[in-house]
Structure 1
């Protein structure tokens, strides 16, 4: 697998994202995966608000969340079936603005994929919209996929044998988040200006449509469900 971050100019609000990408990446081979920072997608769709105060930001976080819990570090939120901080609302690299996530990131990923397929003349193309997330009891942030298009995001290994012939009973591989994390490590979080990343030879199955439900795990079966139930979430 080959991972290549792409240095770009500063993306402006409501700029044409597909045209911006093609300007920096004139062509790609078949079966390429492109990761795109969620900040670019929010700016593309004009989903910003001028930062006025911490209280205003917190009101936006609660409004944009399906459930929210205030912690000393940030807001722990659930949005569109995914645990994230601050409902994906960010003020870093935002020039005094708050950048919000679109209501339907999967639709944005599909729209962007269709336009880039036409511009690049390729059929096998995957798109991942990335954002930062924090793992329980781990220092630092990693990248995660808030949405994707063009490939299957989960690999089902149930029934496959391990090296000793024992069949796997519950193993699912989260390919979408794994790729997002790998790319985010090279894209950076500060002033690197690498909001795009190309992945070649990714071990994924390309597909015309992505199923957003495949990556959403049933809350009642989730490993962290007891912790989520033990705290009182707003909403």
Structure 2
């Protein structure tokens, strides 16, 4: 059985000491860390601690951003931010550009304007995997506990209404379980199946984090016999994401062969 504990924090709006805030919030919520716990932490919370906040009026929009603004009704400054942050932009709908950021499909390159001062936007953490690794190591140094860390975000799934969770970075646990070569209930050999366990944990945590004024940017996951495996090796983003040119949704939508 997996237990989830939402950890409330005070409202944070600018740079702060992230690990100190995590540990003090655990204490205030009367929750003690144990070995093999996993902390799911909102990417926005991590980004706020890093000061990854941008005042839109300070952004100078270029010609391309202004063109996007006219077509999609976006603020030109927001369009410019997305152009600056995205690794690839496909197309868009009203107020949104579909982009690749950190190897993932992310509307507006993960840039968010909710739960921040009007006129400001929050970017993704500078280096999410490095942040996850640093959080895990500092918590181990301060508490002596070996834990896993999952930095999460909310995401839209194609054709589905509403947001779910996604892991944008991981440290201390294996994010994907390879089931290729194993048998199913009927003895069939699995040829393609891999389980995105870190994304599963992010989705579970998202139920407690919410999207409005819950003030629960941290969720503790605890299991007596967890389905995930712990590790001390550094996890790379290429272990959790594939090249968009090989993605079934993108390739399927672009293909005209059938």
TM-score by length of 2: 0.84
Distance 1:162 1:70 in 2: 40
Q: 1:179 to 1:59 in 2, by over 3 A?
A: same
Query: Would the aligned equivalents of 1:89 and 1:98 in 2 still touch at CA under 8 Å?
Result: yes
1:41 to 34, 42, 46: 46
Cα deviation, residue 185, structure 1: 1.2
Which structure would you say has the larger RCO, counting Cα contacts within 8 Å and 6 or more residues apart?
A: 1
Cα deviation, residue 186, structure 1: 1.3
1:121 to 141, 144, 155: 144
1:93-132 superposed matches below 5 A: 93-96=115-118, 97-123=120-146, 125-132=147-154
1:196 to 208, 218, 224: 218
Correspondence for 1:206: 230
TM superposition outliers: structure 1 runs of 4+ over 6 Å: none
SS in 2 for 1:162: coil
Q: Is 1:55 equivalent to 2:76 in the alignment?
A: yes
TM-score by length of 1: 0.92
Q: Is 1:215 equivalent to 2:237 in the alignment?
A: no
Q: Which has the larger radius of gyration?
A: 2
SS in 2 for 1:136: coil
Distance 2:237 2:88 in 1: 19
SS in 1 for 2:251: helix
SS in 1 for 2:215: coil
Q: Is 1:29 equivalent to 2:34 in the alignment?
A: yes
Correspondence for 1:225: 250
Gaps of 5+ in 2: 58-73
Larger deviation, residues 61-70 vs 218-227? 218-227
Distance 2:85 2:11 in 1: 26
SS in 2 for 1:34: strand
Cα deviation, residue 221, structure 1: 3.5
> Over aligned residues, Cα RMSD in angstroms?
1.6
Distance 1:82 1:18 in 2: 26
Distance 1:208 1:89 in 2: 30
Cα deviation, residue 227, structure 1: 4.6
Larger deviation, residues 1-10 vs 49-58? 49-58
2:114 to 74, 92, 101: 92
Query: Would the aligned equivalents of 1:152 and 1:211 in 2 still touch at CA under 8 Å?
Result: no
Larger deviation, residues 56-65 vs 208-217? 208-217
Gaps of 5+ in 1: 231-235
How many residues align? The count is: 229
Correspondence for 1:147: 169
